[in-house]
Structure 1
């Protein structure tokens, strides 16, 4: 038997370690951990009662903490991640700085092409595109795909801001500009900074996250007021009732806060609401540009 045959036989009996294995988290159950996970994960440490006398072992660990840190690989620590985060902001700002006024459209990635929401998202995006707005989505399938398709049918720029997930989410085929992000908070900043309205189609937790992120920033005057419109009154009816009959009645929000949400089942009405709000904002900025800059991150 040749040496090559022996080597081949040996290789068959032991697992060949792939280069990507070294970057897999032991807690990820066979899948690669995302950068967001690595950022937000912190090692579990033993708990000590405030009046408990620490053990000698614990004291020794604290005494040698600095020494261990000096020999630790800096590139996998949180300070190093600041540079990765900064690079995502720089790349995102650089790519989106010159896009036209745009509208962000959100909704479920699980929406199928035969769902009425899919057709409505295409129509809404096409109308907005023909009115002069670019369309920004999360870049994935479902409602996002429909909105990007509508943007191209309306002959305006179609933008996708995709996110690294534990499960693969491929960019949809209707993107003129596709960006990839590791960090949710960087990606959400791009939506807020470069959108003049949020259109929210039926969706799940991710859609709700984007919705309430926008409402919180408007409520706290971190950004200028811009339209937040929910499509499909039947889908969102329970949420609207809860906001008005529970949150508002309990005094946890004001009537002005509750009025930030608008609901429409008509793509043409949505387009008109966005256009009217944009023109009003444009006129206000021309009359008092300094005040507008102070009230908006855009």
Structure 2
């Protein structure tokens, strides 16, 4: 694929995702990945390969299957006409980027805020905590936390992988993220089997998570918010989350918006944390105005990420 076609594909996929959100269809690649992952898992467990070696084999099977599926269809379309292959790449890239879907979920909570039970239901689609006892402030905090965390793994990593490595890079990072969501749990079944999926997901998002901080700071400067606080909060508070990556963008959002996030969180009826992220004098009683600012910050950060990604693609054109 020449440089112009690659840049056009990136831009078109980003715009389609932003305008239309995630397409819903039975054979969505993430759904197919999940089915393939479960089939491979059952087969390996049936062979008694339920430890780390089985987990590594599972990782290889899932990633290889994802890449083979993309490549096989593409090669068939290339035989018919090269532009059909480009259209296949575009449709797949559009299906695997997640900015539009992220904004849709955020706006759904924002629209539901006047009706607290409906807002709790809407935010329950974004977070794993108990939402039945959340007030408006808790709903808004939870939504901003989810938006800011998912900026890295849902937007930055896949977008930049597409820009630098083309469709193989995008398919790879989405397969790895899917593996982490399916087997990357620290429980009896997956503590060893899911090790490869969890660690590779951490590795894939390591650099984008840290690059999210200057990106969010620049976006907040354009919005005349608090870029210095974004950097300071990210450096100080990123380790408040157990993930090695998700705390960077969340803490940067807290600083950029000059608000406190996290706070009391219940899961399974049990209080799991009371720690706040942000300075003690920053407000934690958040409202619809804070959520609107967060959604705008997501949009501007993503547009800056697109500009950065296109620049990267221009200096490292792909031959895929």
Tell me the TM-score normalised to structure 1 length. Answer: 0.29
Higher relative helix content: 2
Tell me which structure has the larger Cα radius of gyration.
Answer: 1
Higher relative strand content: 1
Which structure's relative contact order is higher, taking Cα pairs within 8 Å and 6+ residues apart? 2
